[in-house]
Chains A and B, each alone.
Chain A
Amino acid sequence: MKQSYTIVVFTENKIGLLNRISAQFTQRHINIESLTTSESEYPGIHRFTIVIEDTEEKTRKVVKQIEKQVEVLKAYCFTDAETIHSEIALYKIKREDDLDLEKLHKVVRDNNAFVKEMLNGFIIIEKTGTKEETHKLFDELYPFGLHGFVRSGRVSLSNQMSTFKSYLEALETHSKEIITDNF
């Protein structure tokens, strides 16, 4: 049965790794629903958060293939229930003369969103939450005249204690860093 999986990958910060990781999905005809990458809390190590919809078996196999790549430190996969996840969405509303500001503010408040910027011609609203939550706000803001919408990829943390820190420490103790890895 297909379901949503969040794949978390820790890698060295190297050119081309994004390509190498995404190629693992391409080869297996798996569509990436969202992908976010940025520097992690460990210096020099990047964290990828990738969301796919597939079967458990196919997901486990692709995770192994990702972890096999040189310069990938570790790859994990989680079901939605095993993670706390969020994404950020920005909404742009045009300030027309007939805009019911009071009603708009109520929608924003009810959705735990906030007004990020009041520009001359536009209002920018920001909402952090699950995809369902940002989508719900989208639906509710639509009647106000939505002129722009953007949603980020998912970021997530597992609801268990992270094992990556101890794994990394073990790696660093065991590996002999002979060459300076500066290219």
Chain B
Amino acid sequence: MDTLTKTVGENEEISKKNISGSEAIIRSLLAEDVGTVFGYPGGAIMPTYDALYHFQKELKHVMTRHEQGAIHAAQGMARVTGKPGVVFATSGPGATNLITGLADAKIDSTPLVCITGQVASPLLGTDAFQETDIMSISMPVTKWNIQVTKAEDIPGAIAKAFYIATSGRPGPVLIDITKDAQVASFDFTYKHCTGFRSYVPNPAIDYDEIEKAAALINQAKKPYILFGQGVILANAEDEFKEFVEKTGIPAAWTLLGLSALPTDHPLNVGMLGMHGNYGPNVLTNECDVLIAIGMRFDDRVTGDLNRYAKQAKVIHLEIDPAEIDKNVKSDIALLGHAKDLLQVLNTMCKENKHEAWRKKFDEYKAIEFEKVIEKELNPTKPGLTMGEVVRRVNDLTDSEAVIVTDVGQHQMVACRYATFKKSKSNVTSGGLGTMGFCLPAALGAKLGAPEREVIAIIGDGGFQMTIQELGTISQTEAAVKIIILNNQFLGMVRQWQQLFFDKRYSSTELTNPDFVAISKGFGVEASTVSDRSKLDEALKTMMDYEGSYLLEVMIEKEDNVFPMVPTGASVEDIRLE
């Protein structure tokens, strides 16, 4: 055995004479401390799979049933571990099947390193078998991409890829490696990348601006914090909590910011946006200072920008300069890593309580509880609601589980009602809204955090988009718990059709297969439940089961998710029914 199974230190250099490009790929990944790769073999990546064969102990490969499954699984792993997910795919269709995952990871700032095989370099541009211009295709959905045609360029490209994927605002990168580069031999040397001149991942901190921000925060009467995934990506949860507690400012989260601050924290006032909580939306238009931390004012958060927080002074803490003033004009922009910025800000901000202001959130919460939450969590009608299932799952897991969701009604309900104690516990497709994300992402999350309970909550529509990954779950024996919230509709689209298209249910009703039989066919134990009296027992059976398990829960067919800020409306016009 050689020394390559351990990671190389920042300035250490490792080398091995006369090895193939493929072996160099594997050794480079090991040098970057990669433990798991998700992927799917095929012609142009075969030399790399052959090299992988010799490193089975050091580098685990998970063969999914589709490249989209591989990339979502890598995303799931990255989200719970904070480390980049790694994907292999072959050229042509293998590579194009990664595109949805790349776009998802780009918009949700998830670090990924994808390695695709490419036809041999003399064949480039000849429309060879399984040749596709993946460089051009992946360009707008990657943070960076590169084509490598020479074996000796492989380690440098991989080192740079890992550096770019994980630094600054993280994102996906793609390395396209021609087959001849994988086959050719060279003398391998690996050195980590720690910077290059045309990339400034962490903008310099401007202390004067932080001071101005602190002064504004200190004199604010009704300050309000909005936090996003930037807090989690910067590992700034502790600094953030300190900031919130010291200043006594109520804080609301974006979909991806969820779990950065424990849900039961007294200053955690809830969810922002289209299906967020009542107070957090309405009071956006009453606060005097709005402090946005690691979030990008997505349109699903802001609603109509012309009627969004116009009365407030806006302080924006953000690592990506292009996000400053993109959607909401800031009065003070603090560029930098959230952790660094908050550390400084914490020393400058005064202790405060803001009790009267915080009470306002309680008042709105009481209204929302009566009109929406109570009905969702303790329904009096016979049909099961999504909310009661989610809440029971939380009770059974003591809010310790990782919850992975797909896209649609169940996602909004899960994020609204799930409770979390730990960060990196909420995995969902936010910006891109990718149906089919959940099942493979849950697999990746489980493999990334095997000691944690991972629960996939999926709608019956999205489940069928990547249903084949049940095979991967079965083969890897990853103990993912899968809950299908089955309302036999594409629920969110149906809700919009009901509210905005006069109930014309165009192509949203599903005739579903027997999910239990399918799951069992894949070797994943399964059952179904539709009765409230049996829900608890069914959930317990699932949780107690040793391996992976699928529970189909039959849900009231035409429930809607409220509150709701209709498209084009202001956050203050949020509807409760």
Which A residue sits closest to B145, measured CB to CB? Answer: A16
Residue on B nearest A15 in the bound complex, by CB: B147
| Interface class of chain A by DSSP | mixed
For A168, list chain B residues within 8 Å (CB): 197
Chain A residue at minimum C-beta to C-beta distance from B149: A183
Knowing A179-B160, A179-B191 touch, does A71 contact B198 (C-beta < 8 A)? yes
Residues of B within 8 A of A72 (CB): 198
Q: Given that A16-B135, A178-B191, A183-B146 are contacting pairs, would A70 and B157 also be in contact in the complex, using a CB cutoff of 8 Å?
A: no
What's the interface size class on B, roughly?
20 to 34
Contact in complex: A179, B320 (CB < 8 Å): no
Neighbour of B198 across the interface among A19, A73, A178, CB < 8 A: A73
> In the assembly, what is the distance between CA of A177 and CA of B197, in Å?
7
Residues of A close to B195: CB separation below 8 A: 175-178
A68 to B156, CA, bound (A): 22
- In the complex, are the beta carbons of A70 and B144 less than 8 A apart? yes
Q: Does chain B have a CB within 8 A of A166?
A: no
Is the Cβ of A179 less than 8 Å from the Cβ of B193? yes
B153 touches A179 (CB 8 A): no
Bound Cα distance from A19 to B156, whole angstroms: 22
Residues of chain B within 8 A (CB-CB) of A182 are 153, 156
Q: Does A53 contact B (CB under 8 A)?
A: no
Q: Does A12 contact B (CB under 8 A)?
A: yes
Could you say which residues of chain B place their CB within 8 Å of the CB of A179?
Answer: 156, 159-160, 191, 193, 196
Interface string of A1-40 (1 = CB under 8 A from B): 0000000000110011001100100010000000000000
Q: How far is the CA of A19 from the CA of B138 in the complex (A)?
A: 11
Bound Cα distance A181, B155 (Å): 11
Report the nearest A residue to B190, measured CB to CB. Answer: A179
Evaluate contact between B160 and A23: CB separation under 8 angstroms. Answer: no
Rounded to whole Å, the gap between the CB of B279 and the closest CB of chain A is: 32
A160 located at the interface, meaning its Cβ lies under 8 Å from any Cβ of chain B in the complex: no
Q: Is A171 at the interface (CB under 8 A from chain B)? A: yes
B219 CB within 8 Å of chain A: no
Q: Are A61 and B326 in contact (CB under 8 A)?
A: yes
Contacts of A12 in B (CB 8 A): 198
Which B residue's beta carbon lies closest to that of A62? B322
Residues of B within 8 A of A (CB): 135-136, 139-140, 143-148, 150, 153, 156-157, 159-160, 164, 191-200, 320-322, 324-326
Q: What are the 8 tightest A-B residue pairs by CB atom distance, in nearest-first order? A: A183-B153, A64-B322, A70-B144, A175-B197, A68-B322, A71-B198, A175-B195, A171-B197
Query: With A171-B200, A178-B191 given, can you name 20 additional A-B contacts, CB distance below 8 Å?
Result: A12-B198, A19-B136, A20-B140, A61-B322, A61-B326, A65-B322, A70-B143, A70-B198, A70-B199, A71-B199, A73-B197, A73-B198, A175-B196, A175-B200, A176-B194, A177-B197, A179-B159, A179-B191, A179-B193, A183-B153
Question: Which residues of chain A have a CB within 8 Å of any CB of chain B?
Answer: 11-12, 15-16, 19-20, 23, 27, 61, 64-65, 67-68, 70-73, 168, 171-172, 175-183
